[in-house]
Amino acid sequence: MRHILSILLENEAGALSRVAGLFSARNYNIESLTVAPTEDKTLSRMTIVTTGSDDIIEQITKQLNKLIDVVKVIDLNESDHIERELMLIKVRATGKDREEMKRMAEIFRGHIIDVTEKTYTIEMTGPGHKLDAFIKAIDPALILETVRTGASGIGRGERILKV
């Protein structure tokens, strides 16, 4: 099953490589990994999307907790959560495709943030499957470049992850 793990870790040099190294050394799956400092400068927040059986997810959580830099780990799947990913996608936009591409971006609530005579660059956020759906909905021949951040997640309502 797909799980989304949220991790608070000390904002120390090497912390990220310790987490990434743990996944590769122990043969765990990593679908995406995002990390940035939080409002507290000494802490970073990381979101990891991974897949595995319940036993594997339990091991991953335990192993992460064992890292000295890791302050807290939660599995967002355990309750309601919100998940977002940012995608920047550059598409060919010429002739009749130009109008069509603009319409599609609007339908998916994307923003065109850069325009040339031949291209649009669209910014789009949402759960990963929405971004996938957009890519599927447009003509693959028109896609020039995509870049995605991987998922970030946060618990719904009162649930918070803090020290």
Partner 1 sequence: MELTGAEILTRCLAEEGVEYVFGYPGGAVLEIYDAIFRQDKFRHVLVRHEQAAVHAADAYSRSSDKVGVALVTSGPGATNAVTGIATAYMDSIPMVVISGQVNRPAIGLDAFQEVDMVGITRPCVKHNFLVKDISQLAETIKKAFYIAASGRPGPVVVDIPKDVTQQKAKFSYPASIQMRAYTPAQKGHPGQIKKAAQLLLDAKRPLLYIGGGVVLGNAADEVREISRMLGLPVTNTLMGLGAHPGNDQQNIGMLGMHGTFEANMTMQNCDVLLAVGARFDDRVISVPQHFLSSPKKIIHIDIDPSSIAKRVKVDVPIVGHVKDVLADLIGAIQQSDHKQADITNWWKQIEAWRAPNSLHFDQGSDIIMPQFVVQKLYEVTGGNAFVTSDVGQHQMFAAQYYRFPEPKRWINSGGLGTMGFGLPAAMGVKLAHPDADVCCITGEASIQMNIQELSTCKQYHVPVKVINLNNRYLGMVRQWQEFFYGNRYSESYMDALPDFVKLAEAYGHVGMRIDKPADVEGALREAMALKDRLVFMDFLTDQQANVFPMVQNGKGLTQMDLPPHMRNLQIAPPTPVNERDYGNLC
Farthest-apart Cα atoms in the chain, separation: 57
Minimum distance from residue 2 beta carbon to partner 1 (Å):
22
In the complex with partner 1, which residue's Cβ is closer, 111 or 162? 162
DSSP letter string, the chain:
-EEEEEEEEE--TTHHHHHHHHHHHTT---SEEEEEE-SSTTEEEEEEEEE--HHHHHHHHHHHHHSTTEEEEEEGGGS-EEEEEEEEEEEE--THHHHHHHHHHHHTT-EEEEE-SSEEEEEEEE-HHHHHHHHHHS-GGGEEEEEE---EEEESTT-----
In the complex with partner 1, which residue's Cβ is closer, 71 or 86? 71
From residue 86 to residue 125, the character string flagging contacts with partner 1 as x (rule: CB under 8 A) and all else as - is: ----------------------------------------
Instruction: Give strand pairing partners of 122.
Output: 89, 112
Q: Binding residue for partner 1 (CB under 8 A) from 95, 96, 157, 163? A: 163
Minimum distance from residue 48 beta carbon to partner 1 (Å):
17
27-86 binders of partner 1 (CB under 8 A): 55, 58-59, 62-63, 65-66, 68-71
133-152 binders of partner 1 (CB under 8 A): none
User: Is residue 25 part of the contact set for partner 1 (CB under 8 A)?
Assistant: yes
Catalog residues that contact partner 1 under the rule CB under 8 A. Answer: 9-10, 13-14, 17-18, 21, 25, 55, 58-59, 62-63, 65-66, 68-71, 163
